[in-house]
Amino acid sequence: MTDDVLLTSRDSGVLTLTLNRPHRKNALNGELWDALREQFTVARDDDEVRALVIAGAGGAFCAGADLSGGVATGHPLDRMRKVNEIALLLHELPIPVVAKVDGVAVGAGWNLALGCDMVVATPGSRFSQIFAKRGLSLDFGGSWLLPKLVGLQQAKRLALLAEMIDATEAHRLGLVTWVVEAEEIDGFVADLGKRLAAAAPVAIRQSKALLNEGADSTLPAALAGEARAQSVNFATADTRAAFAAFNEKREPEFTGEWALG
């Protein structure tokens, strides 16, 4: 456990981070921002971590930035630089990241979920780009994420009207990967995390990077990146393990070990 505001647990290569300010619907204050930065760095640098799950405690995912204390002191650009660094840390994590959403995910809290690679939500979950109703504009990567995920017109609808939408609508728009009953979501996410953690780590990391880069690249550049990535994959023990397992009709065990030399 990092501290009381962010609970951490590990199981079979999966690191789970649980936002733990249920009395504020897990709204992000300075302490929680710092804890997220610390644990995103751990997830990036620890080779034993092969998948990350982000969840919320107490029937909410995250109500965005905590505004209960009024306007914070210090220059806004300095505060936003800190927020932006954490958003970039999340986006650049090489491992797969799953958001487990039960309850509200609004503002920066929704963009925290959208910054993950997959989003699992319960039918009762609700989502809003609440910023406009607070006299604010998008942050935590929302202006970049939304148009890529839903297109420009739907992104403007969500941002400018700040509507609250349900999980069914979020799934229809492609902002939620799966909608799972509340009593089933724990098992669903646990199984998903184990499947991701059991995958070939070097290949999975490269596929994630290729997809992220491909969103802003040309086809020739994407193909060149794929060629480089496959060359790296063939130099690991995982490719040989997969071929052997296929021939022997069993599941492979992946380590990501370098196999040249």
Domain span(s) for CATH 3.90.226.10 in the chain: 6-197
| Residue range 200-247 in CATH 1.25.40 | no
pLDDT at residue 213, rounded to an integer: 92
Domain span(s) for CATH 1.10.12 in the chain: 200-247
Amino acid at 177: T
Q: Do strands 6-11 and 14-19 pair parallel, antiparallel, or not at all (unpaired)?
A: antiparallel
Report how far Cα 12 is from the mean position of its chain's Cα atoms.
19
pLDDT at residue 261, rounded to an integer: 59
pLDDT at residue 217, rounded to an integer: 87
Q: Do strands 14-19 and 97-101 pair parallel, antiparallel, or not at all (unpaired)?
A: unpaired
Low-confidence ranges of the chain (pLDDT < 50): 1-2
Please count the residues of the chain: 261
pLDDT at residue 72, rounded to an integer: 62
| Residue tagged 């309850």 (tokens) | 103
Overall pTM > 0.85: yes
- How far apart (Å, rounded) are the C-alpha atoms in residues 161 and 132? 7
| Residue tagged 């969500």 (tokens) | 158
| Residue range 6-197 in CATH 3.90.226.10 | yes
Beta-carbon neighbour count of residue 10 at 10 Å? 11
Helices 201-214 and 219-233: crossing angle, nearest 10°?
170
Q: Which two tokens stand for residue 194?
A: 């184990």
- How far apart (Å, rounded) are the C-alpha atoms in residues 118 and 57? 19
pLDDT at residue 1, rounded to an integer: 42
Cβ–Cβ under 8 Å, residues 101 and 125: yes
pLDDT at residue 71, rounded to an integer: 57
Amino acid at 76: P
pLDDT at residue 150, rounded to an integer: 97
pLDDT at residue 79, rounded to an integer: 83
